[in-house]
Amino acid sequence: MHISLSIMRPNPGNESHTIDSMHRFGQAAKTQPGLTLCTTMRDQETGELVGLAVWESEEAAKAAGPALMAAVENDDLDAWVAEMRNLRLEEV
């Protein structure tokens, strides 16, 4: 199992743009082999947005990369997001 976890803090006024981008990314992920789960969530306390994708393997996640990036290639995340952390998690 391989998990991709993104934590984003949108700039003021850009939450809807960021969520739309995350949804486009997720829709692209759902067309890729090896995806088990993909969802976008908001932390109730901080307002941070969390993107979670669970893959059968790291290889499946890597193979999906070009399609996922193409889905958001025109998005201005530098303007929309104040802070972003991307984690690649593996089961231990």
Structural domain of residue 18, as residue ranges?
A: 2-75
Residue 27 is assigned to a structural domain of this protein: yes
Residue 86 is assigned to a structural domain of this protein: no
Q: What pLDDT is recorded for position 8? A: 97
CATH number at residue 14: 3.30.70.100
pLDDT in tens, 33-87: 999 999 999 999 999 999 999 999 999 999 999 999 999 999 999 999 999 999 9
End-to-end CA distance of the chain: 10
Residue 82 is assigned to a structural domain of this protein: no
Reported as a pLDDT band with limits 50, 70 and 90, residue 92 is confident
Q: What pLDDT is recorded for position 90? A: 86
Q: What pLDDT is recorded for position 43? A: 97
- The number of domains in the chain is 1
Q: What pLDDT is recorded for position 21? A: 98
Residue 83 is assigned to a structural domain of this protein: no
Residue 63 is assigned to a structural domain of this protein: yes
